[in-house]
Amino acid sequence: MTNEHVIAGLDLGNGYVKANINGGVRVFPSIAVKQFNTAKHTPVGLQDLDIFMSDIINQMDLSFASPLVESTERRLFGERALKSGLNLEEFDVFARTSKAEVDISGVLALGVLAADQLQEYYTKEKTLPNSTIRAHVDLATALPISEHRKHEKVYRDRYLNSGNPHIVTFHNFEQPVHVELIFDNVYVANEGESAQYGLMFAKEPFLDMIHKEAIKRFPNGELDGITGRDLVSAENTLGIDIGEGTIDFAVFSNGRFNQDASSTLNQGYGSVLESTLSKLQDQGYPYKSRKELSEFIHKQPSPFTRKKWTHVNEVNQSEEMRFGDIVSSEVSKVFSRVGGFIEVIFVFGGGATPLEWSLFNKLQSRVAEFGDDNLLPIVYLDSRYSRFLNVQGLYQVAMRLRPNHAELEA
């Protein structure tokens, strides 16, 4: 039985999981499917282990014994889940149920941690383990701001599990492979709060991009002398984290997260996709899930799909425009509470870039309502980079959960 120490930051987004485990980043869709017929299971042969391990997230077949996962069915993940034809298990962006209360949170978190451990073992040993892999985990993860106060303690306690292990079993092989995960330290942050920590530890190339975004609104040199580091070091900020199921408005006052002033809009970019999906289904299009629709929209069309892609994109853009109005209205409510002391606004998250064309000008107009002399940079960050802010912030927190790691550098 191996005993490994794992440091992990997990951002369980409604659309994608972003995981930083011991410094290695993984991204994969926040989906799984339950298997009810496993009789035709074909074990992975020894000659195919290299291929399996190189694509473990998209190949693994797992079951769980954990207070984080109530149902005992085996699950498939990633591409294998998408192509299975089975009903997807994913976060319901319209549900009132907390992420802390649904199985998919535990399935994704435990699944990626177990996959990392098995892959790490195989990389070192070039064979499957003949005994249980055991890992001790320091974890930082997050809940939406609106859920945090009510659910944080119970969610954290489920991970800690009174010191007992969570057991993840791989069913891909001739014999089951077991991974035991013991959570020694767990911190549950507010979504958006953790992104601010990610900004604080940003490196120079990212800081340069932040600076370029900030000066777009002030082309006459009003921000001369202000650097990217100055912007991320501002103590009074509003972070707008556009996710798939929620938008978190994270307020920092005097360098500390201000939970009283922060809030969540229980809609996100997934709401746009769901509305588009509904309209397209009414028109006879065969899309089954917002994930399938999103993959089609954001992929360059072929000559054979261009006409269909153009129509689908037009329907989606009309929904984006409508949603931009909803978000800008919510920003006005937040800004009316905290606008007097906010120094910088950051917009980020996986839904930021798709909505930029319909949202950025609306945000500028809302800010202008509070005075022409309001020197307030809006830093609108590209989703290709900013979708990782939460997970990088969470990893920085996780590094500091164990006392003897407090001195670690970013």
DSSP for 182-206 reads EEEEEEEEETTHHHHHHHHT--HHH
Please list, residue by residue across 43-60, b when 16 or more beta carbons sit within 10 angstroms of its beta carbon and e when fewer do. Answer: ebeeeebeebbeebbbbb
* 151 and 138 in a common domain: yes
Say which residue, 109 or 360, is predicted with more confidence: 109
* 237 and 181 in a common domain: no
Confidence of residue 285 (pLDDT cuts 50, 70, 90): confident
Last residue of some domain: 173, 190, 207? Answer: 190
Question: Which pLDDT value is given to residue 243?
Answer: 86
The lowest-confidence range among 73-77, 213-217, 322-326, 351-355 is 213-217
Say if residues 18 and 350 touch (Cβ distance below 8 Å): no
* 23 and 171 in a common domain: yes
* 284 and 180 in a common domain: no
Question: Which pLDDT value is given to residue 153?
Answer: 97
In whole angstroms, what is the distance from residue 170 CA to residue 81 CA?
Answer: 15
Q: Is the pLDDT of residue 229 over 50?
A: yes
Helices (H), ranges, 244-386:
269-282, 290-297, 306-338, 352-368, 383-386
Distances (CA, A) of 24 to 6, 42, 106: 11, 30, 20
* 179 and 326 in a common domain: no
- The predicted-structure confidence for 203-215, as pLDDT tens digits, reads as follows 888 899 899 888 8
For the chain, the straight-line distance linking the first and the last C-alpha, in angstroms and rounded, comes to: 32
* 252 and 158 in a common domain: no
- The predicted-structure confidence for 332-377, as pLDDT tens digits, reads as follows 888 888 877 888 999 998 888 888 888 888 888 877 776 555 678 8
Q: Is the dihedral of CA 293, 295, 297, 303 positive or negative?
A: negative
Contacts of 35 (CB under 8 A, 6+ apart): 61, 73, 74, 75, 76, 86
Q: Please tell me the pTM assigned to this model.
A: 0.85
Backbone dihedral angles phi then psi of residue 3, each to the nearest 5 degrees: -130, 105
Contacts of 298 (CB under 8 A, 6+ apart): none
Say if residues 147 and 100 touch (Cβ distance below 8 Å): yes
Distances (CA, A) of 240 to 4, 10, 83, 237: 37, 19, 34, 10
Say if residues 391 and 20 touch (Cβ distance below 8 Å): yes
* 255 and 375 in a common domain: yes
Full domain range(s) for residue 175: 2-190
* 247 and 324 in a common domain: yes
Angle among Cα 75, 77, 82 to the nearest 5 degrees reads 110
Domains in the chain, number: 2
In whole angstroms, what is the distance from residue 352 CA to residue 300 CA?
Answer: 20
- The predicted-structure confidence for 127-140, as pLDDT tens digits, reads as follows 999 999 999 999 99
What's the average model confidence in pLDDT over 108-120?
A: 98
Structural tokens at position 146: 């609106």
Last residue of some domain: 146, 173, 190? Answer: 190
Length of the chain: 410
